[in-house]
Structure 1
Amino acid sequence: MKPVHSIMLTKDETIRRAMELIQASNMQIAVVVDAKDGLLGTITDGDIRRALLDDFTLDDPVSVIPLKVPTVAYQNQTREEMINLALAKDIRHLPVLDESGSVVGIETLDDFLRTEHKEVAVVLMAGGLGSRLMPLTKTTPKPMLKLGSKPILQTIIENYASYGFVNFHLCLNYKAEQIKDHFGDGSNYGVKINYVLEQQKAGTAGALSLLKGKLKSSFFVMNGDLLTNVNFEHLLNYHNRTNSIATMAVKEHDVQVPYGVINVEQNRIRSLDEKPVHSFFVNTGIYCLRPEAINWVPEDRYMDMTDLFSSLISDGQRVCSYQMKDFWLDIGSKKDFDNAQEQFRKAFNA
């Protein structure tokens, strides 16, 4: 996703300013917004030419030009959804909005069809025992269990690679050789893989201490036993935009109380609520971190990501959440795994 501020202007700015932005960006488009970056419309170089032919001047405000209301995308949409939308509408540009309707970037069809490799690292935690999935994991590490025709971990790697993220660090412990034998150096999958071998169980964050000094920019961390079609590029952009040391992708989860709930005050019933539903944000096991966050991970000690986030919060560091509405599947039990096959086919068209 391209930054959008370089082509944004308000309706009170001049046509000259719109022309300058369009020429400087080489995108043939400018985005007109309100005071809160809400999208009002777009202007192209063709719109400017027509305005000049209608006797408007370069010093007239942009508001004299009829604004196009463009097709838009939202930052929680997947890459595939955006490509299909652009192709279906036969358009080259897709302004990207957040949940409040503010413009946060712009996607182009050219960029979609030309995936560039990015230097951002992806750290996948794939060393767990998978005890709750026994006996399936007695001979196979949990990330290598197959959904559809391929291991879970392969789907994760291929999904990241589709966004151009091709530099992986796989943190391994239980049955590490199976994973190494399957993926090798990653070249068969168009990626580069470095293996980080945990000498003992390190938790979902402990192995990061083994990467201290090796990661030079913000990076992803993700559990190697879950599936999602979240737009990883949008997650990274959000993390960088909020200037957070650590960002956790969260998802809303509803829990229904199976009984009627009675609200009582000093023995007096104030209200009744039949089987209410409570909503919570849950940790999805997907994160973006800045390299300095690793300084909070002790060496040779077990640590989970939740412990790391708690330490960062306690020390006053800026920690943010990224609310995702995308498909997300955590496989925590044999029942979850059995149910996952159909959900996987629907989400990934497998």
Structure 2
Amino acid sequence: MKPWRKALINKHVTLVQAIEVLDKAALRIALVVDEDDKLLGTLTDGDVRRAMLKHLALNTPVSQVMNVQPKTAELSWTESRIRAVMEQYELLQLPVVDAESRVVGLANLHDILNKKRHDNPVFLMAGGFGTRLRPLTNNCPKPMLKVGDKPILEQILLNFVDAGFHRFYISTHYMPEVICEYFGNGEKWGVSIQYVHEDEPLGTGGALGLLPHEEIDQPLFMMNGDLLTSLNLHSFLEFHVTHNGVATMCVREYEHQVPYGVITSEGTQIKSMIEKPIHRFFVNAGIYLLAPALVKSVAPGTRIDMPTLLEQQIENNKVVNMFPIHEYWLDIGRMDDFNKAQDEFSSIEVIK
């Protein structure tokens, strides 16, 4: 069992504090206990995302969000029995408790079944010029700039490799030889890497038309090559598969505070005054899962951006879902983002 004590929280902890525990413990679950470690409830990734979709305040106590009747295993149970219960109820984690309901462990289905190998193709977009990061990108593609001791693109690749993915495609345009020479065919990482090259920029979605469509037989991950994130790839894939859409877009919650008092009125009469209100929106996080049919619908040479491609699907009454992410996420688009990445990288907990 992994160090499950990192996942223990009390019922007064706020949602934002619980999210920090979920991220740092990397166990995909938080165990809500009293002062004697007796189990009061559980909080999972799914519980948090449902709360986010409802726009619950981040200072909401976990007692209002947690599952108060979680399934548990007894200390005397064999691993086979634990696995059977987890499969019966489709659970990824199962708290282990003693006779007094005190938490004494946490069973993890992924550990029980060992690491699963995923055949989903992964498409990493690495063709950008990185003009806002000049002069660093004068002689180096932005995805090849180092964060820590490795290029950004390698950090992304390793996250997928560690999660069990092995089929990679990389799109190139600016200084493609630097990327191709570094990654080769992927043998160094025990994976397969193929390249598609854009002679002219085709937009964020146009490179889909250059992929070998006959090989895209499962939902395809598509991700910008300048992102650092600890996104739980397994949760993302599970969500996409179970929600039956042609695409799933990762989204982040973005807050904007109006710097003035906002007035609502009827005619000349003031009805209300709100001082510096905060508006919350979901914004595109640059990570997608796409159905094979959608990938194959993009013809070679098509110039199109991903938002436009997905808007077309929505207009045609196709289901496009969103997956709210609470994990670490940073778009390295400007120099201050790059410097921030250097400062924060060592603290990122990537969930396998």
TM (norm. structure 2) is 0.69
Alignment deviations for residues 163-200 of structure 1 (CA, whole Å, 9 cap, x no partner): 10111000111111001111111111222111111121
Read off the aligned partner of 1:286 and give its amino acid letter. Answer: I
Do the aligned residues in 2 keep the contact of 1:296 with 1:311 (CA within 8 Å)? no
Residue in structure 2 matched with residue 167 of structure 1 by the alignment: 167
Bigger Cα Rg: 1
Distance 1:328 1:318, change over 3 A: same
- Separation in 2, partners of 1:45, 1:259: 56
Deviation string 1:86-143 (CA, Å, 9 cap, x unpaired) is xx954323xxxxxxxxxxxxx34334xx323221110011111112222221111010
Separation in 2, partners of 1:343, 1:89: 33
Structure 2: unaligned runs, 5 residues or longer: 1-66, 79-92, 97-102
RMSD: 2.5
What is the CA–CA distance in structure 2 between the aligned matches of 1:186 and 1:285, rounded to whole Å? Answer: 24
Task: Look up the match of 1:225.
Answer: 226
Who is 1:84 aligned against? none
Q: Is the 8 A contact 1:170 1:196 kept in 2?
A: yes
Matches within 5 A, 1:117-132: 117-132=117-132
Partner of 1:110: 112
Partner SS for 1:216: coil
- Counterpart Cα distance in 1 of 2:155 and 2:77: 46
Percent of residue pairs identical: 40
Q: Indicate how the Cα distance of structure 1 residues 48 and 344 shifts in structure 2: closer, same or farther if over 3 A, else same.
A: closer
1:156 maps to what in 2? 156
Q: Does 1:314 align with 2:315?
A: yes
2:72 touches 2:94 (CA, 8 Å); kept in 1? no
- The one-letter code of the counterpart of 1:42 is K
Residue 144 of structure 1 corresponds to 144
CA–CA separation in structure 2 for the residues paired with 1:332 and 1:47: 53
Mapped to 1, the partners of 2:238 and 2:94 lie a distance apart of 22
Counterpart-to-counterpart distance in 2, 1:267 and 1:296: 54
2:95 to 43, 49, 71: 71
Task: Report the residue type matching 2:143 in the other structure.
Answer: P
Decide whether the 8 Å contact of 2:206 with 2:302 is kept in 1.
yes
Q: What is the TM-score of this pair, normalised by structure 1?
A: 0.70
Give the partner amino acid of 1:71: P
Q: Corresponding residue for 1:345? A: 346
Whether contact under 8 Å (1:115, 1:162) holds in the other structure is no
Q: What is the aligned partner in structure 2 of residue 204 from structure 1? A: 204
State the one-letter code of the partner of 2:182. Answer: H
The alpha-carbon distance between structure 1 residues 295 and 108, as it changes in their structure 2 partners (threshold 3 A), is closer
Q: Does residue 288 of the first structure (1) align with residue 289 of the second (2)?
A: yes
| Mapped partners of 1:48, 1:315: distance in 2 | 51
Unaligned runs of 5+ in 1: 1-37, 50-68, 73-87, 94-106
Residues 195-224 of structure 1 show CA distances to partners (whole Å, capped at 9, x for unaligned) of 111121111110111122220111100001
Residue of 45, 66, 71 corresponding to 1:42? 71
2:93 is equivalent to residue 91 of structure 1 = no
Displacement of 1:47 after TM fit? 8.2
Give the Cα separation in 1 of the matches to 2:70 and 2:229: 32
Q: Secondary structure at the match of 2:106?
A: coil
Match for residue 44 of structure 2?
none
Instruction: Give the equivalent residue in structure 2 for 1:264.
Output: 265
SS of the residue 1:159 aligns to: helix
Aligned length, in residue pairs: 263
Tell me which moved more, 198-207 or 336-345.
336-345
Contact persistence 1:296–1:308 (CA under 8 A): no
